[in-house]
Structure 1
Amino acid sequence: MTVQEPETTDEATLPDPVPLMGCPYKSNPYPLYERMREAGPVHPVLFPSGVRAWLVTGYDAAHAALNDDRLGKNHDRGNDRWRARASIMPEPQHSRLQVHLLHQDPPKHTSMRRWVTDAFTPRRVEQLRPRFQELADSLVDALPAAGPADLVTGFAARFPFQVLAEVIGLPGELAARFDRDWGKVVQPVGPTDPGRPLYEARLHGLESYIAEVVAHKREHGDDDLLSRLVVARDRGELSRAEVDSMIFQLLVAGQEPVTNQITTALIALFRHPDQLARLRDDPGLLPRAVEELLRYDSAFELTTWRFFGQDGDLHGTEVPAGDSVIVSLCAANRDPRRFPAPDTLDLDRSPNPHLAFGHGIHFCPGAALARAELQIALGTLLTRLPGLHLAIRDEDIEWIPAVLGRGTNHLPVGYDRRL
C-alpha cells in the first residue's frame, strides 16, 4: 500500500482530523474505532484523497444517522470543499454513472428502487438457490485437487458475479467478458494521481460495456431486470443516465462487496479454527454464523456520503451544510453498548441486529441475495475442502486500500484434498 501512514499520537488524544489511512489502519481498524467510540459519536476524519468528512461511530448514533431524513445522499448537496476533493469521477462520466440509488433521495429514490426490488426478494432468492449451489460446486471442481490455491481468483471473485448474472439476466457471453478491474472505478484516484490515466481507461471500458449490455437487451429482451430497465428507458420512464447508473451499481456493488465479505469471513474463521471446525461439522449453523461474520468484520466498512441541506447538529457536533457525513458500520457493529463481548466471534449470537447492510430507506436491496451467497460459499468451501487453512502468515495478508470497504485481492489457502 502506498498511501501515507498516519502519524502516531498520544493514546489519550485523537488527532483532528483523524486520518483513516495506512496499512495498520486497513489491516485492523477496530482499535482506532474503539478509541473514537469512547471519545464520542462523531469525529472529523481525513481520507487518503484529501477528503475531510464527519464519521459516525457508535451503534445508536449510526442507527439514528442512517434513518435521519435531514441527511440526503444526492451529490448536489455537497459543498465546494467536498466537491473539490470527492468528485473525482470526471465529466461526462460522473453525470452518466453517478445517478443511481445510492445517490438519490425521496421521491426519486423511492421510484427508482421499485425497479430493482422484485429481482432480489427472499422468495426469488430461495427459488434460485439450487442454481447458485451448482455454480459454487462448479468453481470448486475447477480448483486444484489439493492445495495450494488462491480462493479469491479461484472462487470469491467469480462466484458472486456468476450469481448476479443469473439474477439480473446478464447473458453468459457478456458475463464472461466483464473485467473485474472495472470495479476499481469506485476507488478514489485524484486528478493529479499517477494512476489517473488507468482510472479513466477503466471508466471508458465500463461505459462501453454498459452500452453493449443495453444494446443486447434491446435486441434480445426477456423477463429479467436488465430487460425491464432498458424498456423503461425506451418508454421514457427512466433516463439514459439513470439506467446506465443503475446497471453500473448492479455490476459493481452487486459483486465486489460479496467477494470481499467471503474473504473477511474466511479470514475470521481461519483466526478462530475452533469455530471453523464447528461450522464445518454443523452446516445448520450457517444462517446464524453468517450474521455473526457480517457483524464481526463487514466488507462494507463505511457508508457512502450523506449531507445536511443546512447546518445541523449531529449528536452534539455542529456539521456545516454540504460537508460529508459517513457512518462506520464496522465501528457500530463492535459497540459494546449494543453487543456483549463485541470483539468475540460468537456463532451463537442472538439477537444480532448488525448494520452490515445499512438501515432505513437505503438498506441494501440485495441483502437476501448476499446472505444466500455467503451461506452457500462458506458451506461449500468448508465441506468440499477438508483441512482448509490459510497458507500465508496472518500478518502477510494484503488488505485492499479501498476507502469504504474491507477485503483482500488474494487469499492463498491450503487443504488436504478436494471432495
Structure 2
Amino acid sequence: MTAQEPQPLTDPVPLMGCPYKADPYPLYERMRDAGPVHRVLFPSGVRAWLVTGYDAAHAALNDDRLGKNHDRGNDRWRARASIMPEPQHSQLQVHLLHQDPPRHTRMRGQVTDAFAPRRVDALLPRFQVLADRLVDALPDTGPADLVAGFAAHFPFQVLAEVIGLPPELSARFDRDWGKVVQPVGPADPGRARYEARLHGLQSYIADVVAHKRRQGDVDLLGRLTAACDQGELTPEERDSMIFQLLVAGQEPVTNQITTALVALFRNPRQLARLREDPALLPRAVEELLRHDSAFELTTWRFFDRDSDLHGTPVPAGDSVIVSLCAANRDPRRFPDPDTLDLDRSPNPHLAFGHGIHFCPGAALARAELRIALGTLLTRLPGLRLAVGDDDLAWIPAVLGRGTRELPVAYDRRR
C-alpha cells in the first residue's frame, strides 16, 4: 500500500471524535466509494447500518419495508439506544418520527396546515420583525457570538408564533431541555442532569396543555390539546407531538444558520455575491442546505424481518440510518459536490428527507433561513469569522451538525 492510498475502512466504522464532527465529508466519500451500506459505531455504543450514496439513500427513505416504530428494534439496539427512562419514553417518544402508517398518517394530519407554505408566507413580515429585533440588540460593532445573539433565539421565536406559544410560556422555555435527545446512558455521570432536564421539559409541556385548555385557543397547540380532549389523539401522542415541535422544531434551524454562515465564510466570493444580490437567497438557501445540512443523519429505521439492503444482509430489528450529508455530496448526483455553487440547478438535495417522513416544517425552515441570512448580511457589513476556522467548536450531537458558538466580527451594525 502506498502512502497516498487511504486506509481500509474498519468494521464497524466509528462515527465519533472531534475531527469527524468538524468535517465528516472525507470519511463519507470513502464510505460511498466502498459501497452504499456500512456498519457503523456511535459514541453511545450503538451499532447501526449507514446508507451513504444518493440513490441508495433516496430508495431507503421511500422503502416501505423500513419502519420507524421503536417496537421494531431488537434487544441489541434497545440495550444501547432506548435510554429514555419510563414512564417518559412511553409518554414522549410516540411522535411522528417514531410512527408508521396508518398512525403516522393520522398524526401528521394534525400539523400540516400550520406549516403550509401559504401560512408561512403570511407570517413573513412578523418573522422579519423578530430578526431585526435580535440584530438591534447586537453590539454596534463586533465581535459578537451569533449563536448566543441570534441563531439560538430566532428559530424559537418564529416557532412560538407559528404554533401559538404565548410570550409568558416562551420566556420560560429552557434551551437546555433540548439536550434530552442526546444519548446519555444509565451509567453516564451526566445521567442525573439528563433526567432533570427530562422532568423539567415534561412539566413545561403539562403547563402548555393546561394553558391551552383554559384559553380554548385555535392555534396549533390549542388544536392538539382539543384533539386529545375529543379522543382524536391519546395524551401520549399529544405530549410527544408538542415535545417534537419544541425540540426538533427549532434546534436544527439554529444549527443550519451556523453551518450556512460557516460555508459562506469559507467561500468569500459566494458570500460577496449573496450580499450584493439578495435575489439569490432562495437558490442560495437550497445550495447551503445541500452543502452542509444540519440534519446530518436520519433517525432509526428497522426491518421487521431479515432483509437485503442494497446487497447487504441486515438482521431484523437492527437500526438503519441514512446519511443525508453523504447523499448530498454524492458526485454521481451532484457535479463537483464539494463546491458551494449558488447557481446550482436543479438541486434535488435530501436535507429535509424524502417520502412520507419528509419534514413537515420544510417551508418554514426555508423561510427562516432566507430571513436570517438576508438580515445578517444586510445589517452587518463586513460580517466575517472572528476566530480561525480550526477554532470553531462543533456540537457533539449524533444526528446533527452545528457549532456551539459562532464568533464573528463586522464593521458596524446598520
The TM-score bracket by the shorter chain reads over 0.9
Q: Tell me the equivalent position of 2:20.
A: 25
Q: Distance in 2 between matches of 1:234 and 1:409?
A: 40
1:7 matched to which residue of 2?
A: none
Q: Secondary structure at the match of 1:115?
A: coil
Name the counterpart of 1:91: 86
Structure 1 distance, partners of 2:50, 2:100, is 20
The partner residue of 2:370 within 359, 369, 375 is: 375
**3-state SS of the aligned residue for 2:242?**
helix
**Which residue does 1:222 correspond to in 2?**
217
Query: Any residues of structure 2 matched to 1:24-63 within 5 Å, and which?
Result: 24-63=19-58
CA separation in 2, counterparts of 1:23 and 1:173? 38
Amino acid paired to 2:394: W
Question: Following TM superposition, by how much is the alpha carbon of 1:168 offset from its aligned partner in structure 2, in angstroms?
Answer: 0.3
Structure 2 matches for 1:71-90, cutoff 5 A?
71-90=66-85
1:343-395 Cα offsets, whole Å, 9 max, x none, are 00000000000000000000000000000000000000000000100001100
Q: How far apart in 2 are the matches of 1:97 and 1:328? A: 25
Q: Name the aligned partner's letter for residue 351 of structure 2.
A: A
Separation (CA, whole Å) in 1 of partners of 2:189 and 2:162: 37
Q: Which letter maps to 1:366?
A: G
Q: Does 1:356 align with 2:351?
A: yes
Query: Where does residue 341 of structure 1 map in the other structure?
Result: 336
Amino acid of the structure 1 residue aligned with 2:186: P
Aligned to 1:280: 275
In the TM superposition, residue 66 of structure 1 has moved relative to its aligned partner by 0.1
Alignment of 1:237 with 2:232, yes or no, is yes
Post-superposition CA distance 1:192-234 (Å, at most 9, x none) = 1111111001000000000000000000122200000000111
Query: Corresponding residue for 1:250?
Result: 245
Q: Deviations over 1:281-321 (max 9, x none)?
A: 10000000000000000000000000001000000000000
Cα deviations across residues 167-211 of structure 1 (Å, max 9, x unaligned)? 000001101110000000001011111111110010000000000
Q: Secondary structure at the match of 1:250?
A: helix
- Classify the secondary structure of the residue corresponding to 2:308: strand
Q: CA deviation at 1:12?
A: 3.9
d(CA) in 1 for partners of 2:86, 2:268: 49
Give aligned pairs, total: 410
CA distance in structure 2 between the partners assigned to 1:100 and 1:389 by the alignment: 39
Alignment of 1:169 with 2:157, yes or no, is: no
In 2: Cα distance, 1:221 partner to 1:153 partner: 34
- Using the alignment, how far apart are the partners of 1:391 and 1:216 within structure 2? 43
Which residue identity lines up with residue 117 of structure 1 in the other structure?
A: T
Partner of 1:226, secondary structure, is: helix
Following superposition, the deviation at residue 127 of structure 1 comes to: 0.4
Question: Take 1:223 and 1:79, find their aligned partners in 2: how far apart are those partners?
Answer: 41
2: CA distance, partners of 1:267 / 1:224: 35
Residue 187 of structure 2 aligns with which residue? 192
List alignment gaps of at least 5 residues for structure 1: 1-9
One-letter code aligned to 2:30 = R
SS at match of 1:406: coil
Distance in 2 separating the partners of 1:299 and 1:87: 23
Q: Which of 205, 215, 218 is the equivalent residue of 1:210?
A: 205
Is 1:128 equivalent to 2:123 in the alignment?
yes
Letter of the structure 1 residue corresponding to residue 144 of structure 2: A
Q: In structure 2, what residue type is equivalent to 1:296?
A: H
Offset at residue 162 of structure 1 (A): 0.2
How do residues 362-401 of structure 1 correspond to structure 2 at under 5 angstroms?
362-401=357-396
Aligned mates of 2:392, 2:87 — CA distance in 1: 37
Distance 1:123 1:236 in 2: 29
Residue 5 of structure 1: aligned partner: none
Please tell me whether residue 112 in structure 1 is matched to residue 107 in structure 2. Answer: yes
Q: Any idea what SS the aligned residue of 2:111 has?
A: helix
Name the SS for the 1:361 alignment partner. helix
CA distance in structure 2 between the partners assigned to 1:354 and 1:218 by the alignment: 40
Counterpart selection for 1:403 from 393, 398, 407: 398
Provide the residue aligned with 1:315 in structure 2.
Answer: 310
Offset at residue 25 of structure 1 (A): 0.3
Task: Tell me which amino acid in the other structure corresponds to 2:202.
Answer: E
SS in 2 for 1:229: helix
**Other-structure match for 1:3:** none
Which secondary structure state, in structure 2, belongs to the residue aligned with residue 44 of structure 1? strand
Give the percent of matched residue pairs that are identical in Structure 1 and Structure 2: 84
CA distance in 1, matches of 2:191, 2:409: 37
CA distance in 2, matches of 1:81, 1:236: 35
Q: Does 1:269 align with 2:264?
A: yes
Spell out structure 1 runs of 4+ moving beyond 3 A. none
Matches within 5 A, 1:123-162: 123-162=118-157
- Runs of 5+ unmatched residues, structure 2: none
1:178 alignment counterpart: 173
Distance 2:321 2:381 in 1: 41
In the other structure, the counterpart of 1:299 is 294
Show CA shifts across 1:17-44 (max 9, x none): 0000000000000000000000000000
State the one-letter code of the partner of 2:244.
Q
Distance (Å, rounded) in 2 between the aligned partners of 1:176 and 1:393: 34
